[in-house]
Amino acid sequence: MTEELRPGALVVYKGKPARVEKLAGRVLLRFPQGETARVRPKDVLLLHPGPVQLERLPQGPWPSLEEAWELALDEAELNLATLTELVLGQYTPEHAWAVWQAVQHSDWFTGTPQALRARTREEIQRLQAQREAQRQREAAWKSFLERARKDQVDPEQDARFLQEVIALALQRTERSRVLQALGRKQTPEEAHALLLRWGVWSPRENPYPRRFGLDLTPPQTALPPLPEEDRLDLTHLPAYAIDDAGSQDPDDALSWDGTYLWIHVADVAALVTPDSPADLEARRRGSSVYLPEAILPMLPDQARQLLALGLQPVSPALSIGVRLNPQGEIEDVRIHPAWVRVTRMSYEEAEARWEADPLLPQLEQALAPFAERRRRQGAVDIRLPEVKVVVEEDGQIRIKPLVWNRSRRLVQEAMLLAGEAVARFAQSRGIPLPYTVQPPPREPSGPLPDGLAGMYARRRLLAPSEYSTHPGVHHGLGLPVYVQATSPLRRYLDLVVHQQLRAYLQGRDLLGENALLVDRVGPAEAARRVVRQVERLSRLHWIGVYLLENPEWTGTGVVVDVRGTRSVVLIPELGIEAQVSLPYSLPLNAQVRLRLQKVHLPYRTFHFRVEGEA
């Protein structure tokens, strides 16, 4: 190329015409507006040896190449000089520029100024079809945007454009051309808002399970039959599995033999052994997922049918017997694979039969010293309002406050006792387990208020609990050592605890600390954190849907914190907190009447107006 270039030649650089001014290694170019640049020779295209006067170059319109194309169809190859003479009769810098622009703006020829080729009819037809398709796409895009700005989107007609909005709403992409063109923030919440606004999604579309990548299909791994082994026969002891009404997977039950309080737990590890297909699947999921509209189990339904307590006349269990002294301290722990005969009941049913059933008061009395010891040891008793949100089969949304009655407190204390008992049993025998520990809470900056406001403030001082292979204090529970062990049907790390206990009882090899922490605790806890987030967001989502469907909602809130001109109120009926503007100063724990003003479902924010003191 350097031999053909010379001062005065007409070249093209990045699509713009230029005159060669000097050759000295690099090429000095001058452009029509007078600016200059030094470039590599290989970066320019030579159109004419010159001399060229840039100001004389035509600006269009460009000549037609169709007749020249007809003549050149049989030519293997030609150059720009030949084509220019063929089209315009002479080869000057001005004519060369005009013909080159015609080449660039039409489909007839392709190649470089030194080697041009006439395209075949098929190639031209294909290019024209592609160009027409592109024109139609651009027209459809323009039409979609016009309708989108008027909120006149058609979910079927506009499906191809809406797919990227849905992908962003489900966090499967980080950007959407639609949101960018509409001037909206590139966030899942904004995408969700548009889908609701356009009627593509119903407010009842819960995006969070898919947004966080949960597996929505139930596990399908097959389980082996229950192995033949010696089991302690405890079927003579009445055993009660007390849970929320409608619970489908009862995995713990209580008995009392006059000396030992027995906590029976579904013997899941008898069928789900370490590194089996069902174990690996459960590890990946981390836990069952409890959504208002559905339950996504951690284990195949076969596990529930075979192992959930009380679904069969006699159930296999891993039974934990605990003997307490009068001070509530653990004196002895027995752990056995057992057979139990379980009666199922809800918390409400247990309350209704409390006075007529001697076992329930006996269990409460047996656990009372343990509960008192926990309080002496600094257990933090926080009873903020909680609700259970359920979407019924008929679509009705039920928000039911959880009542901390005697039966619920009874089950909670028994589960905590089982956790300490298993931890002490394992600690004394050198069984590695994923212990749950919690550092002490932060010291408050001043005296804490009473009532709900005090509990709200105390909760904010608590440190998060964490897993460790080394036993440690759980300050929030007031226990010197603790492990979660009573929900192996629902939580993977509870299942791991049972696998370790069964291995010890049968004299088999135990998992070491590294296998526990790296291979089990890490993956399962990461998955469980996602599950907790999805459950929390889904619960808020359905509360938001409930409020949208009940726009005249009114209720009571309790002032628990003051932040500048706004106050935080807890709404026990809904189990949520909200920031409100108070018309005048009110003390903490004051009750106010609230009226719903607005729900912003994608952001899960609810706005209420204070109408006075309750």
pLDDT digits (tens, 9 = 90+) for 217-269: 999 999 999 999 999 999 999 999 999 988 888 999 999 999 999 999 999 99
Q: Is it true that the peptide bond before 219 is cis, omega within 30 degrees of 0?
A: no
Q: What are the pLDDT digits (tens) for 547-599?
A: 999 999 999 999 999 887 789 999 999 999 999 998 888 899 999 999 999 99
The yes-or-no verdict on residue 37 having pLDDT over 60 is yes
Identity (one letter) of the amino acid at 200? Answer: V
Q: Is the pLDDT of residue 26 over 60?
A: yes
Q: What is the rounded distance in angstroms from the CA atom of residue 353 to the CA atom of residue 361?
A: 10
**Angstrom distance (rounded) from CA 545 to CA 356:** 41
Alpha-carbon gap, residue 468 to 481, rounded angstroms: 11
The rounded percent of the chain whose pLDDT value lies above 90 is 91
Given a contact cutoff of 8 angstroms between Cβ atoms, the answer to whether 287 and 490 are in contact is: yes
pTM for the model: 0.84
- What are the pLDDT digits (tens) for 89-111? 999 999 999 999 999 999 999 99
Give pLDDT tens digits for 114-138: 999 999 999 999 999 999 999 999 9
Lowest mean pLDDT among 71-75, 505-509, 609-613: 71-75
pLDDT at 440: 93
Residue 65 CA to residue 68 CA, distance in Å, equals 5
For the segment 280-286, the average pLDDT, to the nearest whole number, is 96
Radius of gyration of the chain (CA): 37
pLDDT tier for residue 3 given thresholds of 50, 70 and 90: low
Q: Which of 255-259, 291-295, 419-423, 584-588 has the lowest mean pLDDT?
A: 584-588
Residues 307-362: tens digit of each pLDDT: 999 999 999 999 999 999 999 999 999 999 999 999 999 999 999 999 999 999 99
pLDDT category, 4, cuts 50, 70, 90? confident
Question: Does the structure show a pLDDT above 60 at 363?
Answer: yes
Q: According to the model, what pLDDT value does residue 2 have?
A: 43
The residue to which tokens 């009542």 are assigned: 403
Nearest-angstrom CA–CA distance, 91 and 44: 20
What's the pLDDT band for 508 if we cut at 50, 70, 90? Answer: very high
Percent of the residues in the chain that have a pLDDT greater than 70, as a whole number: 100
DSSP state of 132: H
Residue 1 pLDDT grade (very low, low, confident, very high; cuts 50, 70, 90): very low
The CATH code that applies to domain 122-201 is 1.10.10.10
With b for 16 or more beta-carbon neighbours within 10 A and e for fewer, the 530-558 pattern comes to bbeebbebbbbbbbbbbbbeeeebeeebb
| Mean pLDDT of all residues in 365-376 | 97
| Distance in angstroms (rounded) separating the CA atoms of residues 285 and 279 | 10
Count of CA atoms in the C-beta half-sphere (13 A) of 168: 24
Q: How far is residue 188's CA from residue 202's CA, in Å, rounded to a whole number? A: 16
Segment 51-72, tens digit of pLDDT = 999 999 999 899 999 999 998 8
Per DSSP (E only), the strands in 354-409 are: 387-391, 397-401
φ/ψ bin of 254: left (φ > 0), alpha (ψ from -120 to 50), beta (otherwise): beta
Q: How many residues does the chain have?
A: 614
pLDDT digits (tens, 9 = 90+) for 509-541: 999 988 898 899 999 999 999 999 999 999 999
Domain boundaries, the chain: 10-121, 122-201, 234-542, 550-613
Residue by residue, what is the 3-state secondary structure of 307-339?
A: HCCCCCCCEEEEEEEEEECCCCCEEEEEEEEEE
According to CATH, the topology of domain 550-613 is OB fold (Dihydrolipoamide Acetyltransferase, E2P) (2.40.50)
Q: Sorting pLDDT into bands at 50, 70 and 90, what band is 25? A: confident
Residue 222 near residue 276 (C-beta atoms within 8 A): no
pLDDT of residue 304: 94
Examine the pLDDT at 216 and tell me if it is beyond 80. Answer: yes
Averaged over 416-425, what is the pLDDT? 98
